[in-house]
Structure 1
Amino acid sequence: MALSFTGIGSGLQVNDIVDALVNSQKAPYQARVTRQQAAHTTDISAVGTLKSSLEELNKSLESLGTTDNYQKRSISGNDDFISLSSEKAAQVNNFSIKVNSLADNHKLVAAAVPSGTAVGEGKLAISSGTNKFDIEVKATATLTDIRDAINDSNDNDSVSATIITDSTGERLVLSSKETGEVNAIKIVVDDTGDANNTDASGLSRFAYDPDPASTTYAENLTEVTKAADASITIDGQLNATSSTNEFVDVIDGVTISAKKIHGTDDDISNAKITENNNNVSAGLKSFIDKFNSFIDLSKQLGRSSKEDGVGALAGDSLLRGSVNQVRSMLTSEFNVTDDKKEFLANLGVRTERSGKLSLDSDALKAAIEKDPNAVQRFFTGDDDNGFVAKFDDVIKGYTASGGIIETRIDGREAQIDKLTDESVSFNLRMADYEKRLLNQYNAMDLLVGNLKNTGNYLTAQLANLPGVVKKS
């Protein structure tokens, strides 16, 4: 690469001059672009923050817009004997509940046999509840083989098998997986070893059918635990049973889980069902909190004073419009009956002098107690025309895809992209301008240098002419 030295001929600082001329055009342009980009970026950030606040405000009302959240039921009375839960279908009332018995699994144990002994040949037809499955037993099969065949059967989902070993030998133990009388275990044996399907020898030692009227009657296994249903008595005279310890809808909308049998000296359990409209208070408190945060943000973004400075959206119609739209919803009326309307203030929502909201809990409680259906309809409406749905429409006009705020942000981003493209073009023009100036100044510098050389030459020639006296 060749070396270039500018200004040698003329003695001028060509690079400094060119830099100064180029910067005199670049600096104002770059300052203006930087200022505009910063303004657009600040606007995007401010509008994005406003959008987030509006979305949070709208989300705070979600629970109030769902019909299923209203007029729920609370149930009390959980103790050592029962646990309770309720659904909306439950009616306000009180009930006494006594646990008479708990549900239990069926458990059978076979007579002991020496370890590793073959126990017979044939087929075991085992059933529990609606599940039935067969186990084929070979002549060489031991208790271990039968246990594994039962547990590994793809058709078995009702009985588990294990082996207990004591001083007399190994015992096969069968247990139903589900509780209740309906899940009692029955075993019918096809004993091909001795052709007797009900005696206590060979494979029929496992026969168990406790129905005396049955042709397969046999009780060759010992019943350790009887299959049993749970039983409760409601209000001292209404008896109910369940194959599990859970009683669903014995009382409409109520689930009772029996945990312990009431003894003679135990106090009877009591269930109390009450109406629960706590969602209204919780939902309004959340809404008020988010609304007040929104007001604080709007004041910060829109401030304009010597003391506090100027906010990013001071005097902006978007900010002003969003605040006005939200505030207008607070005074809008909505149907609570076919011929009556209410607005938010009648439900205890108060507007303070600061512009923020507060909740009069006593006024809200009174409104709910007077007519819970009216309170529900105010928020949910009919066919999405309640307070929550209309508020959602207003907010999403700003925050939804393609809404006012997104359009504003897209416009600002487009301006930033345009400025970036213009800066690239401008820098290219400045590079050409700098190159042109350097060429011009270098040409001038060369010309001046040549003129100086010519002058020096003429001076030297004149000095050698006869009669020219040199000054010493």
Structure 2
Amino acid sequence: MASTTVSGVGSGIDTSGIITSLVNAEKAPKQLQINTQSQKATTQLSSIGKIQAALDAFRGALKTQGTDNSFSGLVGTSSDEKVATMTAGAGASNGSFSLVVSQLAQPSKLSSANFAGGASSVINKGSTATTLTISQSGKNFDVSVAPGATLQQVRDSINSQFGTAGLSANILTDSNGSRLILTSTNGGVGTDLTLSGNSGVDTGYKVVNPPQNAKYTIDGIAAESKTNNITEAVSGVSIKLLTVSPPVDKATPNILTALTISVSTSTTALKSGVKGFVDTYNALLKAMTSETAVTKSAAGDPVAATLTGDSTLRTLQSAIRNEFNKMSGNGALKSLAQFGVETDQTTGLLSIDDKQWDNAMKTNAADLSSIFTGKDGLLARLTTATDAYAKPTTGILATRSTSLSDSLKDLAKQQSALDQRIDAYQTTLTNKYAAMDTLVAQLRQQSSNVLGTLNALNNQKNN
């Protein structure tokens, strides 16, 4: 007979092994159910999260492409980028303009009196706080100067309190000491900075730069701006002034050289915009495919992905493809396929046929913009088609993620309840087998005593 482990001292029976087997048999079915459901919910939640992130990125790109002039093909150029640069945005149209810059805008800048002790000079030597008031355009900015505060600490207080309000403080140090330099990021005439108060910093300050407007002419029309970034002079065009235009020659220093700013259609820019859309579309499609495609194992057996056959993903993919395949626009060419945007029949991924693209650009470049833009354009339609899936809390994907998360929480509660029930069951079995072992031990002892008495009586009879 095979040997056994004796855990019952009285009975000699392996009660521990019996208890373990009974407990495992009681726990196994429910534990298997919890493990299976938990693994399924966890993997689905992860996959839904990946799809939702990819969809958010796709919709974000659609929004950007709809507002950054991606499909107008318009580019802005400057004949002298040392003087001014320009970019074409929404609302721009083809054209060129003559620009002369006679003055740049500059902000107000002040310098305090010199402090011989440098940046560590004590500004407030008294026992109570003083105040430095900075005024600009009818607004006062009060800086409290604590007893013992240094020039450096005053600078830090200005920057921390009023940096977002357009004020910037620095310290300029030379062999004579240090000065507080106060500058405004809000430039233009009427934005003069002034100092007042009883801090001592306001005493003896001087104006380094008075604020001034930028002055320029466009096609001979004079204009001014409080900043060097011009956004309203030409519709849809942003101009950045960098320096004053150079003179035509030394003999006539007051006659400045005009530069040309122009907006023109660029097929390269158009292709870049379409490629951006293609890349964005492909990224979303790859994310969905990775969670739904059936692959093969090393043995050649089919392996389903987490969301293979999932109806939600099938509907989303169908909604996107339907909008992509629709005709749109108000030109002769009304589909991306006519511009050489091809769909791989196996993967569904998009690519651009360069030859067909070049041929379409020669005669129909203007048709491309209306395919993408406008309230009925591809960008707007794709956004609308995915709205129901992408809403942060009430969308189809968000609702499903919430449901899966709730399922995992419920499974965690079931696991806790199962553990408690099994612990109680094991305790009950342990107590019962312990009582049985004690009873068997007692019976064996009584049996031994009876046998001992009978043996003694038998021995007396024999004698």
Supply the RMSD in Å over aligned alpha carbons: 4.4
**d(CA) in 1 for partners of 2:279, 2:87:** 30
SS at match of 1:85: strand
Q: Report the counterpart of residue 316 of structure 2 in structure 1.
A: 322
How do 1:184-203 residues align onto structure 2 when only pairs under 5 Å count?
none
- The 1:395–1:424 alpha-carbon spacing in structure 2 relative to 1, beyond 3 Å, is same
- The 1:456–1:321 alpha-carbon spacing in structure 2 relative to 1, beyond 3 Å, is same
SS at match of 1:336: coil
**d(CA) in 2 for partners of 1:247, 1:458:** 113
Contact 1:74-1:273 at 8 Å conserved across structures: yes
The superposition leaves residues 10-58 of structure 1 with CA deviations (integer Å, 9 ceiling, x where unpaired) of: 1223233212211222234323322221111011111111111222222
The superposition leaves residues 134-153 of structure 1 with CA deviations (integer Å, 9 ceiling, x where unpaired) of: xxxxxxxxxxxxxxxxx9xx
Mark the runs of 5 or more structure 2 residues left unpaired by the alignment.
1-5, 107-181, 183-189, 195-205
Q: Report the counterpart of residue 49 of structure 2 in structure 1.
A: 48
- The 1:77–1:450 alpha-carbon spacing in structure 2 relative to 1, beyond 3 Å, is same
- The 1:102–1:434 alpha-carbon spacing in structure 2 relative to 1, beyond 3 Å, is closer
Contact 1:102-1:261 at 8 Å conserved across structures: no
**d(CA) in 2 for partners of 1:233, 1:426:** 80
1:443 and 2:444 matched: no
Report the Cα offset of residue 91 of structure 1. 6.3
How do 1:260-409 residues align onto structure 2 when only pairs under 5 Å count?
260-263=246-249, 269-276=258-265, 280-301=270-291, 302-307=293-298, 309-336=303-330, 342-354=334-346, 355-360=348-353, 374-381=367-374, 384-400=375-391, 401-409=393-401
Report the Cα offset of residue 319 of structure 1. 2.5
Contact 1:230-1:245 at 8 Å conserved across structures: no
| Amino acid in structure 1 at the alignment position of 2:441 | G
- The 1:446–1:368 alpha-carbon spacing in structure 2 relative to 1, beyond 3 Å, is same
SS at match of 1:396: helix
**d(CA) in 2 for partners of 1:431, 1:445:** 21
Report the Cα offset of residue 62 of structure 1. 1.9
Contact 2:71-2:368 at 8 Å conserved across structures: no
How do 1:133-152 residues align onto structure 2 when only pairs under 5 Å count?
none
Q: Report the counterpart of residue 177 of structure 1 in structure 2.
A: 210
Report the Cα offset of residue 435 of structure 1. 2.0
**d(CA) in 2 for partners of 1:63, 1:158:** 38
SS at match of 1:315: coil
- The 1:251–1:421 alpha-carbon spacing in structure 2 relative to 1, beyond 3 Å, is closer
| Amino acid in structure 1 at the alignment position of 2:305 | G
SS at match of 1:313: coil
Report the Cα offset of residue 158 of structure 1. 6.4
Report the Cα offset of residue 426 of structure 1. 1.6
| Amino acid in structure 2 at the alignment position of 1:271 | T
The superposition leaves residues 133-186 of structure 1 with CA deviations (integer Å, 9 ceiling, x where unpaired) of: xxxxxxxxxxxxxxxxxx9xxxx97699xxxxxxxxxxxx99983569xxxxxx
| Amino acid in structure 2 at the alignment position of 1:259 | S
| Amino acid in structure 2 at the alignment position of 1:177 | P
| Amino acid in structure 2 at the alignment position of 1:74 | G
- The 1:32–1:250 alpha-carbon spacing in structure 2 relative to 1, beyond 3 Å, is closer
**d(CA) in 1 for partners of 2:105, 2:438:** 113
| Amino acid in structure 1 at the alignment position of 2:373 | T
- The 1:10–1:157 alpha-carbon spacing in structure 2 relative to 1, beyond 3 Å, is closer
SS at match of 2:247: coil
Report the Cα offset of residue 273 of structure 1. 1.5
**d(CA) in 2 for partners of 1:273, 1:62:** 26
SS at match of 1:60: helix
SS at match of 1:61: helix
1:57 and 2:51 matched: no
State TM-score, norm by structure 1.
0.60
Contact 2:333-2:364 at 8 Å conserved across structures: no
Contact 1:230-1:241 at 8 Å conserved across structures: yes
The superposition leaves residues 58-89 of structure 1 with CA deviations (integer Å, 9 ceiling, x where unpaired) of: 22222332386665551321166x43536667
Report the Cα offset of residue 232 of structure 1. 7.3
**d(CA) in 1 for partners of 2:34, 2:105:** 82
Mark the runs of 5 or more structure 1 residues left unpaired by the alignment.
106-150, 161-172, 181-228
| Amino acid in structure 1 at the alignment position of 2:313 | L
Contact 1:6-1:442 at 8 Å conserved across structures: no
| Amino acid in structure 2 at the alignment position of 1:315 | G
How do 1:414-453 residues align onto structure 2 when only pairs under 5 Å count?
414-453=406-445
Contact 1:10-1:445 at 8 Å conserved across structures: yes
- The 1:11–1:375 alpha-carbon spacing in structure 2 relative to 1, beyond 3 Å, is same
SS at match of 2:326: coil
Contact 1:90-1:273 at 8 Å conserved across structures: no
**Identity over aligned residues, as a percent?**
21
The superposition leaves residues 317-354 of structure 1 with CA deviations (integer Å, 9 ceiling, x where unpaired) of: 222222222221211123427xx882332344222334
Contact 2:100-2:218 at 8 Å conserved across structures: yes
**d(CA) in 2 for partners of 1:398, 1:50:** 10
1:78 and 2:80 matched: yes
State TM-score, norm by structure 2.
0.61
SS at match of 1:78: coil
Contact 1:22-1:434 at 8 Å conserved across structures: yes
- The 1:104–1:276 alpha-carbon spacing in structure 2 relative to 1, beyond 3 Å, is closer
Report the Cα offset of residue 263 of structure 1. 0.3
How do 1:127-138 residues align onto structure 2 when only pairs under 5 Å count?
none
| Amino acid in structure 2 at the alignment position of 1:331 | N
Report the Cα offset of residue 366 of structure 1. 6.8
| Amino acid in structure 1 at the alignment position of 2:384 | D
